[in-house]
Chain A
Amino acid sequence: MTTGILIAGFGGQGILFAGKFLANMGMLEGRHLSWLPSYGPEMRGGTANCSVVLSDDPIGSPIVNHPDVLVAMNLPSLDKYEDEVVSGGTIFVDSSLIGRKVKRTDVRVIYIPATQLAHENGIATLANMIIVGKMMKECDFLPYDGIEQAVRTVVSAKHADLFDVNMKAIGIGYQYQ
């Protein structure tokens, strides 16, 4: 099985970081994976996106043109990529930042007010990991075990103090109904 994931939003929302976490989950599982960031002249406030491919077979293109899973963290991203999602795919929408509903009827849509939840819980910068938590819950390609180790790897020794808040964010997303 091959899963193409596209995470898209503003620079500064932790788009690449969320992708890195998923890549590290794939690493721990011993799966084939690729992680590809957009590396334009974007910075905080600009657009950013990140392609992650997880697969049981060697990966061809690391570019996700037609995602199985789309995470849209702002309206321009949903507008741009909604039609590219494969039929039967899944779209995660940060409903606190995106006012409209998904138009497609052949995909599964999960609305989660991630940015609002992050603010309410005093972890304003971790809406990305709240959505990741929700992905853990909703997508069977990511097992919940091993999360701690993946978070530890991705926050790096230098920022070890961020381990707890990342785990907290994932927990909030996982439990969100």
Chain B
Amino acid sequence: MGNKVLMKGNEAIAEAAIRSGCRHYLGYPITPQTELAAYMAKRMPKIGGVFLQAESEIAAINMVYGVAATGRRVMTSSSSPGISLKQEGISYIAGSDLPCLIVNVQRGGPGLGGIQPSQSDYFQATKGGGHGDYHLIVVAPSSVQEMAQLTGLAFDLAEKYRMPAMLLADGTVGQMMEPVELPEEKDVEFTEKDWAVTGTKMQRPHHIVNSLYLVPDELERKNFERFERYRRIQETEARYESFLMDDAEICVVAFGIAARVSKNAVLAARAEGLKVGMIRPITLWPFPSQALKEAADRVKGFVSVELSMGQMIDDIKLAISCRKPVELVNRAGGMIMSPDEVLAGIRKMNGGDNQ
């Protein structure tokens, strides 16, 4: 592995994508992810790749659909309002069982909202987002290092399971700079996929990429097959970081920038003698339900810390079958909670109100 370099989170995603063999970037500018597109615009032409600024987000995602059908690594990126525009295309890509990477550097909503960081696209990212029954693999980086690392992971998982992956970041992690160790360059040699449409050369039967199935039992079978695959993913691919959980009586759950803020609060709470730990989901889908379920046997309660009106908290309650109380600490609209606000939530869960 090479040396550490100082980079913005958005740039780290772009460089990591290139090193993971991505040579096709199709997007449309929007704050706060623009550095990613700008980086691609600069680099792609120099390495024989494609950077294309489409006429709209909708056009960009449909171009992604096209490239994905050829089996090449392809990505797009946007921020919340732009991701909403892409939902139809994402549903088609999921319905056609194609891999690709979609980056959402979230900002406050709904509507045009604002440009400050947010995590309020959690539902949209983890529950499907577009129409029909489907999931995306969703990874949630909380550092610039993870912006790079999880980009590669998202590409690999998307390809392995033939489904779209989303990297769900936020404006803070996108804009901040931290030292990052970039992944090694991956061999970009194209390997023939047994589903990709690359031309038959009159030597093999056609591969067909399609999401239209007018015969109901055929479409049902497709859905059943897809969900069988999802079940395997839920069993094997959930990732999380466990922080000071060994003797914890209170479990903070947070991802992305909220987890960074919460880490300070957990350490402050420990300094006060409170037994607090944190489970930080790294994949939001599959959600690390098993880890939370096991934690529920030991802790007296959970604190969900989110930059939204409370979305992940539903998945926590499902994971633990509502066996323990879950306290919400949240800010919205581009505001970020302070460690003191998280600490107050921890104290409240602990039953004392010595704030």
Contacts and interface: CB of A to CB of B under 8 A. Distances in A.
Given A41-B115, A60-B264, A63-B336, A27 B32 contact: no
B79 to A, nearest CB: 12
Nearest to B339: A61
A36 B339 contact: no
A94 to B, nearest CB: 24
Contact of A27 (B116, B176, B179, B262): B179
B6 A27 contact: yes
A37 B175 CA distance: 7
Given A40-B115, A40-B116, A41-B115, A60 B175 contact: no
B177 to A, nearest CB: 4
Interface in A1-49: 20, 23-24, 27, 32-37, 39-41
A4 to B, nearest CB: 10
Interface in B240-256: none
B176 A34 contact: yes
Contacts of B222: none
Contacts of A35: 6, 176-178
A39 B171 contact: yes
B309 to A, nearest CB: 21
A65 interface: yes
Contacts of A60: 260-264, 267, 339
B4 to A, nearest CB: 7
Interface residues of B, number: 24
Contacts of A23: 6, 177
A85 to B, nearest CB: 15
A39 B178 contact: no
A81 to B, nearest CB: 14
Contacts, number: 57
Given A35-B178, A40-B115, A40-B116, A65 B172 contact: no
Contacts of B175: 36-37, 39
A35 B267 CA distance: 21
B70 interface: no
A49 to B, nearest CB: 13
Nearest to B144: A34
Interface centre among B6, B32, B171, B340 (most CB of A within 10 A): B6
Contacts of A59: 178, 260
B263 A61 contact: yes
A27 B339 contact: no
Interface string A62-81: 11010000000000000000
B330 interface: no
B62 interface: no
A39 B6 contact: no
Contacts of A32: 179
Contacts of B171: 39
Contacts of A62: 172, 176, 178, 257, 260
B31 interface: yes
A27 B172 contact: no
29 contacts: A23-B6, A23-B177, A24-B6, A27-B6, A33-B178, A33-B179, A34-B178, A36-B175, A36-B176, A37-B176, A39-B31, A39-B32, A39-B171, A39-B175, A41-B115, A59-B178, A60-B260, A60-B263, A60-B267, A60-B339, A61-B264, A61-B339, A62-B176, A62-B178, A62-B257, A63-B172, A63-B261, A63-B336, A65-B339
Top-10 shortest CB links A-B? A60-B263, A60-B264, A35-B177, A36-B176, A61-B261, A61-B264, A65-B338, A61-B260, A39-B175, A34-B178
Given A35-B176, A35-B178, A65-B340, 6 more contacts: A20-B177, A27-B6, A34-B178, A35-B6, A36-B177, A61-B339
